[in-house]
Structure formats: C-alpha cells, structure tokens
Structure 1
Amino acid sequence: MNNNYYCIIMAGGMGRRFWPYSRKKLPKQFLDFFGTGDTLLRITFDRCKGLISPQNIYITTYIDYKDIVKSILPEIDEKQIIIEEERRNTAPSLAYASYLIQKINPDATIVVMPSDQLVLNIDAFREAILKGLDFASKSGKLINVGIKPTRPETGYGYIQIEEEEREGDFCKIKTFIEKPALEFAKVFVEENEFYWNSGIFIWHVTTIMKAFHENMTEVCPRLECDAPDFTACPNISIDYSIMEKADNVYVQMCDFGWADVGTWQALYDVSPKDVNKNVIMNSNSLLYDCNDNVILMPEGKLVVAEGLEGYLVAEHDNVLLICKKDDQHAIRRFVNDVEMRFGEDYV
C-alpha cells in the first residue's frame, strides 16, 4: 500500500431522513441496517482497508459520537478520530481534517467518503479509487467520483461532464445539478454526459488546502490551529463551498454498484423484495394486498396490514411512523414538527 494515501470517512451526521430508526443519540451510520452484524461505519472502514493502510484512515464525527466510533472501530488510534465540537456541515469538517493530515504528511493524497453508502462490487471500487488517488496525486485536480446512472433517480445530485476536456476516465466538470425533477432525470439517464454525484472526493492535500484558502479565506484561520473554532464557521457543504467554485474540478467516471443509503426510498431500492415488491426487514409480517412497501419493526413485533401501497411502516424505541416511503422531505418535516411540539425525547 502507498503510505501517502489517506482516507477520511465522514460519520458526524444525524441521519434525520431515516427517522425514527436513526435518532440523534444513535444515527444511521452506527446501525446495522442489513442484518449482517456490522454497522454502516464498520462496513465502510473495512471496504477502505483493502486500499488504504488502517493507520491512515481517519473518521470525522460529532463530539457526542466519539465513544460510539471507538466501540465500533476499537483497532484505530484515538488520534484518528477527528472531532467536530459543533455541527457545521462538511466543508469546515474537511478543512480541519485536511489541515491535520497535511501536518502529518504534506505529500498525502486523500479519498473522502460518507459512512452510509453501499458498494456492491468491492474489487471495482478499490480499482477505481486507486486510479483516482494516482491521478489526483499527480494532476493538481480535485476529483469528484461520478457514477453512471442506471435509472431516473430524483434523490441524487448529477454532474454534467465536459467531453472535450477528458483524460482517460477523468473529465472536467461542466456543471452540477441538484436533485432534478423526474422529467429531467429521465433525460440524464439517456445522455452519456451525466453522472450521479457520489459524494466521494479525491485530492492531494496541497490541492484542497489551496482551494480552501482561495474560496473560504475567513474559515481557514479558525480551523488551522490546535483548538478549532467550529462555532465561528458557516454551515456549508464541501459541494457548495469548493467543488462548485473551483476551476480544477474533474469527475472520475465509475461504475461499481454504488448506492447512497441516505433515505428510506434508497434503502428500498437496494434491498431484497418479496413477490409483491415489499421490503420486510427484521420483522414478522402478514401483508394482504400490499405492494411496494418498507416494513421495519423491533424484534418480536408482528405487523398485519392490508391495502398498503408505497408506504413506510417503521417502529423504533418510542416512535411508530407510517407514511409514504418516497417523500423524504416529509420525513424531515415530521422530525422538525415532533421536536418543536414534544421536545427531543422522540428525535
């Protein structure tokens, strides 16, 4: 393995779109969604171990989750857990993590990935990431890993490539499109110039630090220190702050069986289904005239339902949620309303 290759796994989010199973005290990245005995964070870490030395894998997370990360990944050193004192989205978090890695190794090339994604073809994934690390280490480009669309998905962001500026599997990005309407998503699938934005990034540490200094000048002094001040940083993603502004951003065109397990609908898409296209997870159930649903209940509970189509039925702890499964914006609204009316006991 190349000792100049590093990985940052982002594991600080609250996962509100997976409520009520994902909760503030124990969000989705720390849960075993697929019944394998492994959490999403553990699966992501093990996927990276095949191409990055374990001591070069860092986890960024919110301060309240430090002990959870340590319990899931007992083999890593405490210095590999990078703490966010306040949630300020991915840009401040990655700016601080990149600064720390640069201090350790100024020749580092880094792959950044969320902790809640599914990869079906591990060998193809590792081959692609190694190719991206090699390209980023030599080119001075910021790489956004793009996935060839297989369906008109409205829940993902898209990247349009600039075919005229292509270097093998790498193309200059023409524009970003955030979660399009269905009619546009159908066009994007048919065209060869659009890719899903995977949220996986690859860059040399010098390249990304230069981008932070050019595009977030007010943030760098607050983070490039031993006691970072996250409270003084804007709440902004790496996509909006850097990737959509910099002029050296390229997409790496990939296909390794990728899915973002970010919503109930996304989980439905990648899960095994019964003959009526229902996803039944860890639950006993009797379903009559029910199609296209997700059922997730605590062990020992029985679900009996009739006439449901396209619904989510999920119970966890002290909350039972029944709603249309494909309306991710509604679930965010439910969580906000519950928190305002009943406090934090249910979120």
Structure 2
Amino acid sequence: MKDNYVIIMAGGVGTRFWPFSRSTNPKQFHDVLGVGKTMIQQTVERFEGVCPKENIYIVTSEEYYDLCKQQMPYLSDDQILLEPSRRNTAPCIGYACYKIATKNPQANIVVAPADHIILKEQEFREKIKIALHFSAKNDVLVTLGIKPTRPDTGYGYIQFTESEGDIKRVRTFTEKPNLEWAVKFIESGEFVWNAGIFIWNVQTIKKTFEMFLPEMAEAFEEIKKDFYSDREADALKRAYPQCKNISIDNGVMEKAENVFVVLSDIGWSDLGTWKSLYDVSDKDENQNVIDAQTLLYNTKNCIIKTPQDRLVVVNGLDGYIVAEYDNVLMICKKEDEQKVKEFVAAAGNKGKEFV
C-alpha cells in the first residue's frame, strides 16, 4: 500500500445544506447522519486498508485548518493542503497531485469528495482496489460509475462501451440532463452516475494536465521545489492566479481518451441537498426522518434536524424540512429546496453571522 495515496477534497461550503452548512463550518465537518462521526472523519476511515494514514491528504481552505486538526489530529501539517482561493476542482486536484509527485513519483492516487455517503463500505473498498490495480499498470484515468436507481436530473452521467468485467471504457460524459434524457439513459443500460471519485497514477495525471491544462501544469511545476517547506504557502499564492477556474471533469476527464469507469453498486449519495439526506435516512412509521427531540402530531414525510437540547413540537406538516443550527431556523417545503440558495443570499444581507 505504500504507493497508494488518497486526496480528499474538503474546501466547499455546501450552500444547499444551509443552515446546517455554514461558510465558517461547512457540512463535511458536521455529523450529518447522527452517527457520532463527521462526514470527513467517515471519509478518511473509509480508506482504511487502501492506503496508510500518512498517505492521506486533505485539500481545503485556509479557514478550515483548525477544523481539520481538531477532527483529524493524526494528520501532519504537510497532509493538510490549504488553497489560497477556491478555483474549482482542477486546481485543487492538481496542487495535491503535483505535491505528492515530488515525494513519490510512483504514487497511485484516489481522489474523493469529503461529503459523500457510501453505505456499502466493503464493496467500495473492493472497487477502489480494482481501479488502483488497473491504474498502477496502465496509462489511464479511472472513475467510479454508480449504477443508477432512478432517472435523476441532479447527477452527471457517464456512457460506457460494452466489455468484459467491471472496468469499461468511457464513451461520453453528460452533465445533469433533463428528465426526458435521463429516462432514455436509464432505459439504454449504457449509463451510470458520475460519482466524482477518480483514480490514476501520478505520472498519467501530470501528462494529462500538461496536455489539456498546460498553464496549470506549468504553475505547479514551477513551485515543486517549495512543496513540503515553509515556502509552500507563498509559492501557492503565486501559482493559483495562473490556474483556470475549472472542474476536473470539464478540464480533463471530458477531453481525455484514456478514461475508464468501474461499475459500482456501493450505496452512494453525494448528499448535496436536504432531500438527498431524507432519501438515504431511516424513516419512522410516518415516513419522517428525525434527528431531534420532538413531539409530532399529524406530521408525515418530513425531515427534522435540530439541536438535541431543544424540544420541537410539530403539528400538521406534510413534506417539510425543519432545520435549525446555531442562530438560524429554516422551515421549507421539501419540494422547494432549490430556493435554499436564495435564502442564503437573503440571510447574508441580514448579516454575515447568518451564513
């Protein structure tokens, strides 16, 4: 396992999960599922047996350094990579890969978000190991594809070509299709959801950056001598303005021809919204998801998540989100959860302490 590395992306704010997810304390640092561990702690533990703990790197924002140290005290400062600004996933991944390459040119890397749910963890590890074995021996970019259970318009889709086994060559990527196309994708049997989990060896990803994102590759190549030193932070402030604000999907995966997908059934959800948390959570006899002290009357199909030291009495609600964290209480129809971003913008006008 010594050549296996994991990069966990943990710099996002998770606005759609407000008021629980805040700019000062986003959802990856919360115990969203009520299991006694935060999402990022669960993500790190998920890779036990895949790579040593000293080979796990967290890429996050400067303001979340303390949260990372509190929740993962076993990580050294060299394993907590602090971006000077948010510029989407390509710079985030490029920074970590180029840094790891200076330490281990044979590194075989998994990239994963910090805030996803994976219910079938043993199956997940098996799929990751299949992908790592493939990427260690081949000049390939690999992603995990989730077998879809419904025509969801909130996910990206990967079309694959038929071949033996779990590893398929990728034909196309499609970002969040409309419902008509999502239904056609599901019916064809040729599409999986894009989980945003990537696997490659470090030499392959460097060559790919040089091909498709040359300015970014040059920026990180120029500062490689400063990695693992007290000059790293200042070097990054020089490099990041040269990096395009672009996702790894748009910048690399959709353009490369050596892309493969491992078909996976791992109980995955990206937990991007309150509805996605409702969908994966256990429900009571009235289809309510409760993480709170409650007295419920004639209430069904709701998700209620509030502080445990507060009693919440609800009467006559059907299909609502009731969410309280710190100084904000939100009550909203589940079907209107796309308005949460509007609420956040309006709350910001009331004061920074609300967002």
Shorter-chain TM-score tier: over 0.9
Partners of 2:82 and 2:288 in 1: how far apart? 39
Amino acid aligned to 1:256 = I
Structure 1 partner of 2:339: 330
1:49 is paired with a residue whose SS is: coil
The residue number in structure 2 matching 1:240 is: 250
| Kept in 1: contact 2:166–2:263 (CA 8 A) | yes
CA distance in 2, matches of 1:334, 1:174: 39
The equivalent residue for 2:177 is 180
Determine which of 236, 241, 251 is the counterpart of 1:231: 241
Q: Which amino acid aligns with 2:244?
A: P
Equivalent pair of 1:15/1:27 in contact (CA under 8 Å): yes
Q: Which residue of 1 is the match for residue 301 of structure 2?
A: 292
**What is the distance in 2 between the residues matched to 1:27 and 1:113?**
17
Matched, 1:14 2:13: yes
The alignment status of 1:262 with 2:272, answered yes or no, reads yes
**TM-score normalised by the chain length of structure 1:** 0.94
Q: Is the 8 A contact 1:141 1:250 kept in 2?
A: yes
User: Mean Cα displacement is larger for which, 326-335 or 94-103?
Assistant: 326-335
What residue in structure 1 maps to residue 230 of structure 2?
Answer: none
SS in 2 for 1:305: strand
| Structure 2 counterpart of 1:253 | 263
Match of 1:191 in 2: 188
Whether the 8 Å contact between 2:59 and 2:96 is mirrored in structure 1 is: yes
- Structure 2 unaligned spans of 5+: 227-234
SS in 1 for 2:60: strand
CA contact (8 A) 2:215 2:242 kept: no
Query: What is the CA–CA distance in structure 2 between the aligned matches of 1:290 and 1:180, rounded to whole Å?
Result: 34
Change (3 A) 1:237 1:277: same
How far did residue 167 of structure 1 move?
Answer: 5.4
**Percent of paired sites with the same residue:** 49
Q: Deviations over 1:62-118 (max 9, x none)?
A: 111112111111112211111101111111011111001111111111010011111
Aligned residue number for residue 83 of structure 1: 82
Paired residue secondary structure (1:265):
helix
Cross-structure match for 2:210 = 213
Unaligned runs of 5+ in 1: none
Q: Is the 8 A contact 1:33 1:40 kept in 2?
A: yes
Report the CA distance between 1:343 and its aligned residue: 3.5
Secondary structure of 2:215's match?
coil
Local SS of the residue matching 1:219: helix
Q: Do the aligned partners of residues 328 and 191 (structure 1) sit closer, same or farther apart at CA in structure 2, a change above 3 Å counting?
A: farther
How many angstroms does 1:252 deviate by? 1.1
Partner of 1:345: 353
The TM-score normalised by the length of structure 2 is 0.92
Q: Given the alignment, which residue of 300, 314, 317 partners 1:308?
A: 317
Partner of residue 101, structure 1? 100
Amino acid at match of 1:317: D
Equivalent residue of 1:290, what SS?
A: coil
Judge which range, 323-332 or 152-161, deviates more.
323-332
Deviation at 1:182, TM superposition (A): 3.0
The 3 A distance-change label for structure 1 pair 276 and 191 is farther
Contact kept, 8 Å, 1:142 with 1:248, in 2: the verdict is yes
Q: Partners in 2 of 1:250 and 1:267 — Cα distance?
A: 29
Encode CA deviations 1:108-151: one digit per residue, 9 max, x unaligned.
11010011111122211111101100101112111111010122
